[in-house]
Amino acid sequence: MKILFIGDIFGNTGKRVLAERLESIVVEKSIDVCVANAENIAGGKGITANLRKKLYKFGVNVITGGNHSLACPDSYNDYASDPNMLRPHNLPPGNIGKGSAIFTLPDGRKLGVINLLGRTFSQEQYDCPFRTGLAAVEELLRSTPCILVDFHAEATSEKRALAHYLDGKASALLGTHTHVQTADEKILLNGTAFITDVGMTGAEDSAIGMKTDIVVKRFLLQTHVRFEPAEGGPMLNAVIIDINDSTGRANAIERIYERITFK
């Protein structure tokens, strides 16, 4: 099974990258399933009902998120009803939606997907991603050996630690959130594919997605200013995971950093 995982889709630029490139890359790379983190697609925070529809139209199969997943109330009905639209699994009980799913391919093969939030450097009190993550993996293993975890976290140490904790249980643990792609992709000893951060799909000429002049102003003046999504230098950040359908072990992980020229 070949899985394309797309790093944090940011704003209109990220949406346009998928609109113009996703279909062709799926064909070129013989992709079976596309999973995309879309918590920043609505102007930097959240996802709307209309943008959800567009992602599926572009070719995304499963949507994951992070700390901004529930920023747009417009999407709450989708979180409640769409089995392939995830928010972090370790949000406190009572939040709308769910954090894990099983996507069934046309040929009957199944991919389990889990979305988790890190706690290091976070001001929020999320449930433990290690305990909730392991429980979620063990639950999905009853249905499929192929499991992908999107770990939306700030600290590199927390991401690497969880990857080793789930090594041999999850097929892949992919870090998201920082919007900066790391060059440390590898297969761990027991067969789990790992990368600290997949990166961002959006404007490369930016401060992690936002207009640089506005971000610089905030650092200089130390006062609140309204951030605006940047548009220059569209790029695609992603990874491709090749998983053994029978064992769930990752055979390979390929990192993608592609600069895009819009038509």
Q: What residues act catalytically? A: 68
Residues 187 and 150 sit within 8 Å (Cβ to Cβ):
no
Residues 69 and 47 sit within 8 Å (Cβ to Cβ):
yes
Tell me how far apart the alpha carbons of residues 171 and 163 are, in angstroms, rounded to a whole number.
10
Identify any residues that bridge with 110 across adjacent strands, giving them in sequence order: 104
Residues 174 and 150 sit within 8 Å (Cβ to Cβ):
yes
- Residue count (the chain): 263
Residues 196 and 176 sit within 8 Å (Cβ to Cβ):
no
